Amino acid sequence: MNCQKFQNEFDDRLDGRLDPARAQAFDAHTAGCPACRSEWQAYQAVWEIVSRQPSVVPSFGFAQRTLRRLHAPVERRFWQLPVFRWATALSLLALMCLTGGLAHRQAETNRRVAAYAAAQHDRLDDFDVIVALDSLAGKTDL
């Protein structure tokens, strides 16, 4: 077993996932290679001290308190309250109506402005005809 292959098997060896033959080959390499043995020992040591992190003892009555909490009214944030939701929905509806109304009014105004402009344009067209006729008649100088 070469050193690279050996180090690739650290996790499997640590977690007991090597079959007996491969585990034996692994241990034989450990015994014969000081560099790999040092790496392996460091790998094992870290895993060993990590396990020294303590566990937690649940406080007395944890199960009972959990059952009580199961039946407690559901804690809601203010935005989850029905009154807040209704108020938000109605506000949005009012805003939509207002926006729609304003848009309609603007469209009506635009329509009237366009109609006025068109009427003015017709008048200007008439004016141009009058000026042209007058110029032909020699009454105005273009």
Binding site for another protein (CB under 8 A): 10-12, 15, 17, 42-43, 45-67, 69-70
Which residue, 24, 19, 21, 25, is CA-closest to 2? 25
Which residue, 94, 72, 9, 17, is CA-closest to 43? 9
Choose between 63 and 83: whose C-beta lies nearer to another protein. 63
Tokens 């938000």, residue located: 88
The amino acid occupying position 115 is: A
The angle subtended at Cα 105 by Cα 100 and Cα 111, nearest 5°, is 125
Choose between 3 and 115: whose C-beta lies nearer to another protein. 3
| Burial category of 39 from C-beta neighbours within 10 Å (exposed 0-12, middle 13-18, buried 19 and up) | middle
Instruction: Report the nearest approach of another protein to the CB of residue 6 (Å).
Output: 14
- Contact yes or no for 1/25 (Cβ under 8 A): yes
Choose between 31 and 46: whose C-beta lies nearer to another protein. 46
Instruction: Report the nearest approach of another protein to the CB of residue 57 (Å).
Output: 5
Q: What is the DSSP secondary structure assignment for residue 2, as one 8-state letter?
A: -
Instruction: Report the nearest approach of another protein to the CB of residue 51 (Å).
Output: 6
Choose between 70 and 137: whose C-beta lies nearer to another protein. 70
Instruction: Report the nearest approach of another protein to the CB of residue 17 (Å).
Output: 7
Choose between 50 and 137: whose C-beta lies nearer to another protein. 50
Instruction: Report the nearest approach of another protein to the CB of residue 70 (Å).
Output: 5
